[in-house]
C-alpha cells in the first residue's frame, strides 16, 4: 500500500509531538471548500464520512461549524490515522468520531459501514485530493460506496484537479498529471466524464461543478432522480 499514500510530515512540514500532521494545502483550500459544503450542510443533521482524510484537519475544521452533524474521518495509512486521532483530540469536539480504516479500493469500504457499529445512511461524503493519487479502482470504490451508503437526499463532494472531455483545464494541472504518472503509472488527474460514467453505474448523477482556487474543482453528485 505504501505507494498509494502521501505521507505528510516527511517533506519538512510540521509534525507535532502528538502526531498531528500539517498539510500546507489545507490552509489554502479549506475556506473555499467550506463555501461549497456549507449551504448544503447548514441546518441538517446526520452522518458525514470524509474519505481519505489525510492529516484530519478538514474534519476538525468543518465539525466546528456543524454541531448537529457527526463526522467520520477515515484513511488507510497508519500515520494518517494517528494524525486524524490527534486532531480529533486537539479539537475536543463531541461530533467527531474516531477514524474508520477505509480502503476505498474495496467498494464495501469497511465492516463498520454495514455492521451497525459505524455511521447510518450518510448525509454526505467528502473526499479531497485522493483519486488522482491512487489507482483508478479507488475512484471506482469511492463512487460505489457513495452510491450504496448515501441516504436519499445525500451528496458526494469530490475535490481536486480534473480533466474535462479528456483535456486539462490548466497547464499546471497537465504538468502535475505528468509528474503523478511518472511516479506511478496508475495515478493521474481524472476525467470528469469518466467519473460521471462510474457515478451512473452507482446510481449517482453529477449535479454541480464548483470552481475552486488553483484550478481545482468540486464535483457534487447525488442519487439519480426518476424521470
Ligand X SMILES: C[S@@+](CC[C@H](N)C(=O)[O-])C[C@H]1O[C@@H](n2cnc3c(N)ncnc32)[C@H](O)[C@@H]1O
- Contact set with ligand X (CB under 6 A): 4-6, 23, 25-26, 52-55, 75-77, 80, 102-105, 128-130, 133-134, 138
As measured in angstroms, the least distance from the Cβ of 42 to ligand X is 22
From CA 135, how far away is CA 188, in angstroms rounded?
A: 8
As measured in angstroms, the least distance from the Cβ of 8 to ligand X is 8
Sequence-ordered list of residues with C-beta below 8 angstroms from that of 106, at least 6 positions apart, any chain: 141
Instruction: Give the 3-state secondary structure of residue 196.
Output: helix
As measured in angstroms, the least distance from the Cβ of 56 to ligand X is 8
Smaller CB distance to ligand X: residue 186 or 191?
Answer: 186
Percent of the chain that is helix, strand, coil (3-state, to 5): 40, 25, 35
As measured in angstroms, the least distance from the Cβ of 138 to ligand X is 5
**What would you measure as the largest C-alpha separation in the chain, in angstroms?**
55
As measured in angstroms, the least distance from the Cβ of 102 to ligand X is 6
Smaller CB distance to ligand X: residue 66 or 105?
Answer: 105
Residue 99, C-alpha cell as written in the block: 477514524
Smaller CB distance to ligand X: residue 47 or 75?
Answer: 75
Tell me the chain's radius of gyration from C-alpha atoms: 16
Smaller CB distance to ligand X: residue 63 or 224?
Answer: 63
From CA 70, how far away is CA 190, in angstroms rounded?
A: 30
Smaller CB distance to ligand X: residue 29 or 70?
Answer: 29
From CA 218, how far away is CA 32, in angstroms rounded?
A: 10
Q: Which residue shows C-alpha cell 459505524?
A: 118
Amino acid at each position: 500500500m505504501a505507494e498509494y499514500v502521501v505521507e505528510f510530515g516527511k517533506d519538512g512540514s510540521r509534525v507535532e509531538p502528538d502526531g498531528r500532521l500539517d498539510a500546507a494545502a489545507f490552509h489554502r483550500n479549506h475556506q473555499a471548500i467550506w463555501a461549497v459544503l456549507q449551504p448544503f450542510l447548514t441546518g441538517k443533521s446526520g452522518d458525514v464520512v470524509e474519505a481519505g482524510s489525510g492529516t484530519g484537519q478538514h474534519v476538525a475544521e468543518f465539525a466546528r461549524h456543524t454541531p448537529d452533524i457527526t463526522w467520520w474521518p477515515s484513511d488507510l495509512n497508519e500515520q494518517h490515522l494517528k494524525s486524524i486521532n490527534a486532531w480529533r483530540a486537539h479539537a475536543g469536539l463531541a461530533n467527531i468520531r474516531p477514524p474508520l480504516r477505509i480502503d476505498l479500493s474495496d467498494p464495501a469500504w469497511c465492516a463498520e459501514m454495514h455492521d451497525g457499529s459505524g455511521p447510518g445512511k450518510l448525509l454526505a461524503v467528502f473526499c479531497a485530493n485522493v483519486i488522482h493519487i491512487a489507482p483508478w479502482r479507488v475512484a471506482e470504490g469511492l463512487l460505489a460506496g457513495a452510491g450504496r451508503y448515501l441516504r436519499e437526499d445525500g451528496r458526494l463532494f469530490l475535490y481536486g484537479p480534473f480533466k474535462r472531455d479528456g483535456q486539462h483545464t490548466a497547464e499546471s494541472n497537465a504538468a502535475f498529471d505528468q509528474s503523478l504518472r511518472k511516479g506511478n503509472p496508475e495515478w493521474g488527474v481524472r476525467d470528469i466524464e469518466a467519473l460521471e460514467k462510474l457515478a451512473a453505474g452507482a446510481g449517482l448523477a453529477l449535479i454541480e461543478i464548483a470552481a475552486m482556487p488553483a484550478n481545482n474543482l468540486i464535483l457534487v453528485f447525488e442519487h439519480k432522480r426518476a424521470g
